[in-house]
Amino acid sequence: MVAYTIRRLLLMVALLFALTAAVFFLFNMLPGDPARLTCGKACSPSVIEANRHRLGYDQPILTQYGQFLGGIFFGRTFSSDSPQPIVCNAPCLGYSYSRHQQVLTMILNAAPVTFWLAVGAFVVWISISILLGIFAALNHGRWPDRLVMGISLVGYSLPSFFIGLLLIFFVILKFNWLPFPAYVSPFVNPVGFLKTMILPWIVLAFLNTAFYMRLTRNQVLETFHEDYVRTARAKGLPERTIVVKHALRAGLTPLVTAAGMDLAALLGGAVITESIFSLPGLGSLAVNSVLQSDLPLITGITLFSSTLIIFANLVVDLLYAFLDPRVTIA
Partner 1 sequence: MTSPARAVEPPLLSVKNLSVAFPTEDGLVQAVDDVSFSVEKGKTLAIVGESGSGKSVTAQAIMGLIDRKAARMTGEIWLDGQELIGLPADEMQALRGSQVAMIFQDPMSSLHPFYRVGAQITEAIFAHRSVGAKAARAEALEMLQRVGIPAAERRIDDYPHQLSGGMRQRVMIAMALINKPALLIADEPTTALDVTVQAQILGLIGSLQSEFQITVIMITHDLGIVADVADDVAVMYGGRIVEVAPTSVLYHQPEMPYTLGLLSSVPRMDRDVSMRLEPIPGNPPSPIRLPPGCVFAPRCKYVDRVPGGACASARPELLHAAPDHLVRCHLPSEERQQIAQDLLRVLAGGAA
Residue 102: which of 184, 267, 110 has the closest Cα? 110
Convert residues 240-269 into a mask of x (bound to partner 1 by CB under 8 A) and - (unbound): -x----x--xx--x----------------
The reply on whether position 53 binds partner 1 by CB under 8 A is no
Partners of 102 in beta bridges: 95
CB 282 within 8 A of CB 226: no
* Rounded CA separation 122/119 (Å): 5
The reply on whether position 236 binds partner 1 by CB under 8 A is yes
Between 20 and 223, CB nearer to partner 1? 223
- Pick from 203, 232, 297, 298: which binds partner 1 (CB under 8 A)? 232
DSSP 30: S
Q: How far is the CB of 70 from partner 1 (least distance, A)?
A: 48
Between 7 and 235, CB nearer to partner 1? 235
CB 37 within 8 A of CB 97: yes
The reply on whether position 228 binds partner 1 by CB under 8 A is yes
Q: What count of Cα atoms within 13 Å lies in the side-chain half-sphere of residue 81?
A: 7
Between 70 and 238, CB nearer to partner 1? 238
Residue type, 298: I
The reply on whether position 146 binds partner 1 by CB under 8 A is no
Between 145 and 226, CB nearer to partner 1? 226
CB 24 within 8 A of CB 299: yes
Pairing outcome for strands 86-88 and 76-78: antiparallel
* Rounded CA separation 18/151 (Å): 43
Between 53 and 249, CB nearer to partner 1? 249
Convert residues 300-329 into a mask of x (bound to partner 1 by CB under 8 A) and - (unbound): -----------------------xxxx---
Q: How far is the CB of 214 from partner 1 (least distance, A)?
A: 22
Residue 328 gets the label, from left (phi > 0), alpha (psi -120 to 50) or beta, of: beta
The reply on whether position 227 binds partner 1 by CB under 8 A is yes
Task: Give contact residues for partner 1 (rule: CB under 8 A).
Answer: 226-228, 230-239, 241, 246, 249-250, 253, 323-326
